Amino acid sequence: MPPSPPQTLEWLGDALTGHLRLLDQTLLPAQVSFRDCRSIEGVWEAIKTLRVRGAPAIGIAAAYGVVIGLQQNSQDRGTLTERLRQVADYLATSRPTAVNLFWALQRMQDAARRLQSLPPKEMIAALLREARQIHDEDRAMCRAIGKQGAALIRDGQGVLTHCNAGGLATAEYGTALAVMYAAAEQGKRFQVYADETRPLWQGARLTAWELMQNGIDVTLICDSMAAQVMKEGRVHLVVTGADRIAANGDSANKIGTYGVALLAKAHDIPFYIAAPSSTFDLSLETGAAIPIEQRDPREVTHPQGAQVAPEGVKVYNPAFDVTPAHLIAGLITEKGMIQPVTRERIRAVIGGP
- For 55-101, give the DSSP string: HHHHHHHHHHHHHHHHGGGTT-HHHHHHHHHHHHHHHHTS-SS-HHH
Signed CA dihedral, 98, 101, 39, 26: sign only: negative
Report whether the peptide linkage leading into residue 56 is cis, meaning its omega lies within 30 degrees of zero: no
Residue 54: partners with Cβ closer than 8 Å, 6 or more residues away = 98, 164, 165, 168, 169, 170, 241
Alpha carbon 279 to its chain's center: 9
Task: Using alpha carbons, select from 69, 76, 50 the residue that is nearest to residue 128.
Answer: 69
Q: 34: which strand partners?
A: 23
Report, as an integer, the average pLDDT of 263-278: 97
pLDDT score at 172? 86
Report, as an integer, the average pLDDT of 244-266: 98
330, pLDDT greater than 90: yes
pLDDT score at 2? 52
- CB distance 248 to 286 below 8 Å: yes
Looking at 223, 243, 281, 321, which residue is catalytic? 243
Domain positions in the chain = 9-143, 149-350
9-143 is classed in which CATH architecture?
Up-down Bundle (1.20)
Q: Which helix (H) or strand (E) holds 253?
A: strand 251-254
> Within the chain, what is the greatest distance between any pair of CA atoms?
66
pLDDT score at 98? 83
pLDDT score at 1? 41
Q: For residues 73 and 113, which has the higher predicted lDDT (pLDDT)?
A: 113
Output the CA–CA distances (angstroms, integers) from residue 133 to 122, 130, 141, 331, 340, in the order listed: 17, 5, 12, 25, 32
- The domain 149-350 having CATH identifier 3.40.50.10470: the answer here is yes
Q: Is 243 a catalytic site residue? A: yes
pLDDT 10s digits, 229-246? 999 999 999 999 999 999
